[in-house]
Amino acid sequence: MLTGPLLIAGLVLALASSAWGLLGAPAEQLQGDSVRILFIHVPAAWLGMSGWSAIAIASLAELVWRHPLAGIAARAVALPGAVFSAICLLTGSLWGRPAWGAWWVWDGRLTSMLVLFLLYCAYLALADAAGRDGAGGSRLPAIFGLVGAVNIPIIHYSVLWWNSLHQPPSISMGQSTMAPAFLWGLLAATLGFSLIFGGVVLARMRAILADMQAEARLRRRASELADA
């Protein structure tokens, strides 16, 4: 029931905030018009990291409390998380070219974000293999989801731990160094893309459950035919 409203509200907010970033927000003093890409780049980065955090929490619930929906939720989050991580890398490259003079540098933040995208790809492969084997609750993807969470604080603190080309966080707990014209548009964009993310996850959970039920019926039918 929530999938449609989440997707519609998210699309409206995301499109409105993106239009504001492209047409309404002023050019930044140092970076000029290239800064407008932050209205997509920053929400994509946050959702990429938040997606793996959700996988880690769901994996913990699956391993410790054996919650029946935990593994399904983790699998549902993985694909949109990978997509937003890829968007983050792509938009970061487009932003980095005018800012740093290069499409890519082996900076701590960029490298750890690339590692996150590769972790998503590996998780999707593990979950797909577990599903084909009829082991939808396999422990291996859940363990991998927990272990991969080590990369999240590395991404977050990389600009503080190492000498980084990437700028430090503009928004931290309770404070912001960002001008209001950018801050409120960025928050709206983040909320919009988050709603889209949530709607896609719910739709994928429903699809995964339907696939599992269909496979279970096929197996029962095959067993009945074999016994006949």
Write down the mean pLDDT value for the chain. 86
Quote the CA–CA distance of 103 and 120 in Å, as a whole number. 22
Q: Give pLDDT, residue 191.
A: 96
Q: How confident is the model at residue 228 (pLDDT cuts 50, 70, 90)?
A: low
| Residue 153 covered by a domain | yes
Q: Is residue 53 part of a domain?
A: yes
| Minimum mean pLDDT range among 124-128, 162-166, 195-199 | 162-166
State residue 172's pLDDT score.
59
Give me the amino acid identity at 117.
Answer: F
Higher pLDDT, 124 or 21: 124
3-class secondary structure, 36: helix
Predicted structure pTM score: 0.90
Domain contains 55: yes
- Letter for the amino acid at 44? A
Does some domain include residue 149? yes
61-86 pLDDT, tens digit each: 999 988 889 999 999 999 999 999 99
Domain that holds residue 47: 3-18+35-165+182-227
Q: Best-predicted range by mean pLDDT among 27-41, 42-56, 170-184?
A: 42-56
Evaluate whether residue 175 is within a structural domain. no
Q: Quick: pLDDT tens for 153-190.
A: 999 888 777 666 666 666 655 555 677 778 888 999 99
- Would 23 be classed as within a structural domain? no
At residue 173, the pLDDT reads 56
**What pLDDT score does 130 carry?**
82
Confidence of residue 2 (pLDDT cuts 50, 70, 90): confident
Residue 66 has what pLDDT?
86
The answer to whether residue 173 sits within a structural domain is no
With CA atoms as reference, report the closest residue to 141 among 62, 210, 86.
Answer: 62
Residue 54 lies in a domain: yes
Task: Give the CA angle between residues 184, 188, 190 to the nearest 5°.
Answer: 115
Q: What would the two tokens of residue 90 be?
A: 């792509």
Q: What per-residue confidence (pLDDT) applies to 29?
A: 72
Tokens 């519609």 sit at which residue? 8
Please give the tally of structural domains in the chain: 1
